[in-house]
Amino acid sequence: MTGQRTASAGRADVVISGMGMVTPVGTSAAEVVAAMCEGRSGLVRPPAGGPLDGCAEVAAFAPPIDPASVLAGPETRVVDRYIVMAMQAAADALADAGIEVGRDVDPYRIGVILSGTGGLATLEAQVVTRTQRGRLGVSPYLLPGMLPNMGASRVAIRHGIRGYSSAIATACAAGAQSVGEGLRLLRADEVDVMVCGCSEAPLFATLADTFGNARALARGWAAEPAAASRPFDRRRNGLVLGEGAGVLVLERTEHADARGAAGYAAVSGWGATNDAHHPTTPHPDGEGAAASMRRALADARIEPADIGYINAHGTSTKIGDRAEAVAIRRVFRDGCPPVSATKAVTGHMLGASGVVESAVSVLALRRGLLPPTHNLDDPDPACDLDHIRKGPRPAPGISHVMSNSFGFGGHNVSLVYGRPGTRLSRTV
């Protein structure tokens, strides 16, 4: 049958061959990394009269994208922003990898996992329309315009991807888990290429209100919005909602070499666990998160001392940051590597954060320059780590980096990246 192949012996090496991002601080790797290192913040006061007016003091908006640039005809009538951002990031990632489906890869040997919460703002708008206009006012395009699997579906349709296709719903861990599951499929030789990512468009009133009523949003920073997200700092008092999308193209190293493609980094290992503790609150002892990090290290076949940098989940909440710091200490003890949390400038893009932060971690590895945690003026003693503060830290020669993502429901995912095994390496 088309697309089938006998599995090879051993475990395949996997590389990242393409990246695509839509974030509050840029839409290219160069823009995003520069913002992280320079402290160029994407956090702003929501515009008066906008969907977040009166719901959130600070938010992080990605650049607008015309739906007609990624969709055609009537499909643009009711389509959620999360789908538009997903399609843009995926198109950019495939172009960056130099992959055209059918030319560079068998359509049945490439898959897509593109996750996210789905188009809740679009659903809410249609509920309002139905209330005002009755049942005939509801758009027939609602479901294909907002379902959580439609990011993956639309990307597959646009690019002719006929292999494995899925979407993962593990809240803020969804993007990172998409990468991990893509790695699993590539190692199993079910595919040669995977398009893995997540897109989130949470900037609408109801979602902001539920975070606000739970006292999870940063408050008191309206006069200084860029300072509102401050992971691990004593004065942190909540997260800042952001929107965005991140997509990585993962490829079997032998496949990348065969087409002369250059790799950014190896996807060395991953781990996933559940706290089994509480629907929204991480376990304060950090054991679930620590276990995901240990599993990622074991999967990568390396020791804790081999990690030269950790991009923390670091949402800027009191409980979450402390639990993560405890978890990191459980794993790395006195040999804690440098740590930073880049949500200080992007805000929390929910599940999309894990993919963007993976890209940032990979670029830090390749450039030998680690981004700082901005706004970390007075580190919380309960978050005793080797924080990168005030500016980027040179780190030439590091071999591996780790990115953490944790989500409501107790989901923990850790990813480890190393130097690429391809004959050619990307210049970054």
The rounded radius of gyration (Å) of the Cα atoms in the chain is 20
Q: What is the pLDDT of residue 281?
A: 93
Residue ranges covered by each domain of the chain: 14-420
Alpha-carbon distances, residue 60 vs 134, 225, 355, 367 (angstroms): 34, 10, 17, 26
Confidence of residue 3 (pLDDT cuts 50, 70, 90): low
Condensed to tens digits (0 to 9), the pLDDT of residues 191-214 reads 999 999 999 999 999 999 999 999
| Topology adopted by domain 14-420 | Peroxisomal Thiolase; Chain A, domain 1 (3.40.47)
Among 266, 267, 287, 94, smallest CA distance to 180 is for 267
Confidence of residue 427 (pLDDT cuts 50, 70, 90): confident
Q: What is the pLDDT of residue 72?
A: 84
Condensed to tens digits (0 to 9), the pLDDT of residues 36-59 reads 999 999 999 999 999 999 999 999
With a cut of 90, say whether residue 262 has pLDDT above it. yes
Q: What is the pLDDT of residue 336?
A: 95
β-partners of residue 415 are 270, 403
Cα–Cα dist 248/417, whole Å: 13
Cα–Cα dist 17/64, whole Å: 26
| Strand blocks (E) in 90-192 | 110-115, 165-166
**Which pairing describes strands 307-311 and 393-394: parallel, antiparallel, or unpaired?**
unpaired
Among 416, 413, 184, smallest CA distance to 303 is for 416
**Which pairing describes strands 165-166 and 110-115: parallel, antiparallel, or unpaired?**
parallel
Alpha-carbon distances, residue 350 vs 62, 157, 274, 356, 407 (angstroms): 13, 25, 17, 11, 8
pTM of the model: 0.96
Alpha-carbon distances, residue 386 vs 12, 176, 311 (angstroms): 34, 23, 12
Residues involved in catalysis: 172, 313, 348
Q: What is the pLDDT of residue 77?
A: 82
